[in-house]
Structure 1
Amino acid sequence: MRRVGVHETRFKVYGNDDVVALFARAREYEYNLLEINGERLLSLSPLGLKRISLEARNFQLDLSYSLTLGPLYDLSSLDEEVRKRGLSTVEKIIRNIGQMGGGSLNGPFYTAFPPLLHMESQKDRLFEQSVGSLRSLANIAVDEDVLLNIRPVNRYEHFFLNTASDALQFVRAVNHPGCGIDLDTFHMNIEESNMLAAFEQAGYYLHCIHIRENNGQAVGSGTLPWALVKERLDLMHYAGPLVHAPEAMKIAPFEGKQIRRLLC
């Protein structure tokens, strides 16, 4: 059965300075995976990392990690100092995930957020820089039992990778088993002419799916065809996680269980 997870921002209303405090919340709402911000790991000591790992195990909770990078850490930058700073930062996150037992690092961390719009005309050069960066990081990630999953986002948030087809082109250019695809149903609803076909297009490389409605809110509060999504994922034998990442703060009882019933 697919793991059903939730992103830590779902619990922002409770305060989340200490991620361990969210483990009980995730289990209360019947999730079996929590995705946490990878930047958290940069400031933690080895003991702090071990504590998170052990507490997650105590709660029978898997962990995954998400990441975006600002312009000063841009892995696609034409400025080598900026790119090297980004490489060093992501490498540290990867190695810390490795210390915690490995896992997946998901998100649009292949370029800068917010986008540097004046660079859109040089998208091809940025693409080459980013591919080189991810190939280098994937070599490290494999040794640490970490999988890097890159996420396309809609055109209103960035110009770099917008569709499953774009992500597939990127991952094939990286050409490394440590690099896969993470699709987000909110972005897919905006960009894909056929969402169901887009899942199949990602195919073998699809290792993570972030789920939320067409309005960015909780599953079940919008119009996305979840029964058809489940049918397509079943046909693909998709066994990766489904990470609930809505913008809405209100959490319904048994939320994870309800999502599991819809999509597992």
Structure 2
Amino acid sequence: MTAQTTENPIGVHALVWVGDTSPSSLTYAIEKTKATGFDLLELSLHDSVNLDVEAAREELEAAGLGVACSRGLAFDADVSSEDVAVVERGEKLLQDSLAATNRLGGTHFTGALYSALGKYDRPLSDAGRRNVVAVLRRLAQEARRRGMTLGIEICNRYETNVINTAHDALVLADDIGEDNVLIHLDTYHMNIEEDDLVRPVHEVGDRLGYVHIGENHRGYLGSGHLDFTSFFHALADIGYRGPITFESFSSAVVMAGLSNDLAIWRNLWSDGEDLARHARGFIAGHLAAGQDRR
């Protein structure tokens, strides 16, 4: 496999390969990630109970792969709740997940760290938002002690009521007040909530810390209607050098519970390897074009 030719690590989400983090699944995901030319594997920690952290770290290091971890929360462990016990459960999950990411050798812990992943039936309350700020401030302080950054992934209105736009995320990060809290943009969510794919990149600027690339329907890149050329040009404008990770889901791969949470009701692909190879070339090509433009 050819060496990386871009300045950004190009990653792939493990859910392109497998629906869980059991030892055999992780071995398969690591092997496929390496074989398809990616630099980084992102692990969702929704299944962390089955994750053998030490074995996974050894395999990742042997494959020469970087790692990032992400997660959302459940409604019974929602740090945006007003219920103290619910918030405490959520904070423990976040702290445990941060520690697991660190033990895996990762420095990026990201995702919807601020709420449950699901449809809310009311706006975020003032008390709930205060809980989010307090919990993520403590999490960021622990992350700094470990030499890590937190990513605030901006999700659409059907998956959270806390932040839906880049502007929302910047305000939340300012309120948290820790400089290792960075913004995580995701083109799938941006397509729903933002006016375009350029202005949010420019607004976030050097506070951008992680990027998810996904089509409007979460299928093959370039088969939907997203303006990826403008998005990658915007990344070049701000000199973004961080990870760019391909994210796509199929209910043929993702476990039933998570598939339901993410509303994966139809399969746009069945061959994860073909999907991933295409995505790796697609992202690398757009990055190269952006660099040439500079």
Task: Provide TM-score, normalisation by structure 1.
Answer: 0.90
Does residue 1:6 correspond to 2:30, yes or no?
no
**Structure 1 match to 2:106:** 102
Checking the alignment, whether the CA contact within 8 Å between 1:123 and 1:160 is kept in structure 2 is no
**Structure 2 match to 1:238:** 240
**Structure 2 match to 1:216:** 218
Distance 1:96 1:156 in 2: 28
**Structure 1 match to 2:58:** 54
* AA matched with 1:114: G
Superposed CA offset, 1:132-155 (max 9, x none): 110011111111222111111112
Deviation at 1:8, TM superposition (A): 0.9
**Structure 1 match to 2:199:** 197
Distance 1:68 1:158 in 2: 10
The counterpart of 1:22, out of the listed 29, 35, 48, is: 29
**Structure 1 match to 2:260:** none
* AA matched with 2:137: R
With over 3 angstroms needed to count, the CA separation of the structure-2 counterparts of 1:31 and 1:182, relative to structure 1, is: same
Deviation at 1:168, TM superposition (A): 0.7
Distance 2:196 2:63 in 1: 38
Distance 2:66 2:158 in 1: 32
Give 5+ residue unaligned stretches, structure 1: none
3-state DSSP of counterpart to 2:188: helix
Deviation at 1:16, TM superposition (A): 5.7
Deviation at 1:40, TM superposition (A): 3.9
3-state DSSP of counterpart to 1:12: coil
Identify which range, 33-42 or 229-238, moves more after superposition: 33-42
**Structure 1 match to 2:264:** none
The counterpart of 1:32, out of the listed 36, 39, 47, is: 39
Distance 1:85 1:227 in 2: 42
* AA matched with 1:6: V
* AA matched with 2:99: R
3-state DSSP of counterpart to 1:145: coil
3-state DSSP of counterpart to 1:76: coil
Superposed CA offset, 1:10-67 (max 9, x none): 1138x763312211111222211110112344454xxx32221121111111111110
Deviation at 1:215, TM superposition (A): 2.1
Does residue 1:254 correspond to 2:277, yes or no?
yes
3-state DSSP of counterpart to 1:195: coil
* AA matched with 1:25: K
Checking the alignment, whether the CA contact within 8 Å between 2:120 and 2:158 is kept in structure 1 is no
Aligned length: 258
Identify which range, 54-63 or 250-259, moves more after superposition: 250-259
Deviation at 1:108, TM superposition (A): 1.0
Checking the alignment, whether the CA contact within 8 Å between 1:97 and 1:146 is kept in structure 2 is no
Distance 2:180 2:30 in 1: 28
Identify which range, 34-43 or 203-212, moves more after superposition: 34-43
Distance 1:72 1:151 in 2: 20
* AA matched with 2:73: L
Distance 1:39 1:156 in 2: 19
**Structure 1 match to 2:208:** 206
Checking the alignment, whether the CA contact within 8 Å between 1:102 and 1:144 is kept in structure 2 is no
Give percent identity, aligned residues only: 26
**Structure 1 match to 2:78:** 74
* AA matched with 1:90: L
* AA matched with 1:9: L
Does residue 1:64 correspond to 2:68, yes or no?
yes
CA RMSD of aligned residues (A): 1.9
Distance 1:190 1:66 in 2: 21
Distance 2:18 2:99 in 1: 27
Task: Provide TM-score, normalisation by structure 2.
Answer: 0.82
Checking the alignment, whether the CA contact within 8 Å between 1:75 and 1:87 is kept in structure 2 is yes
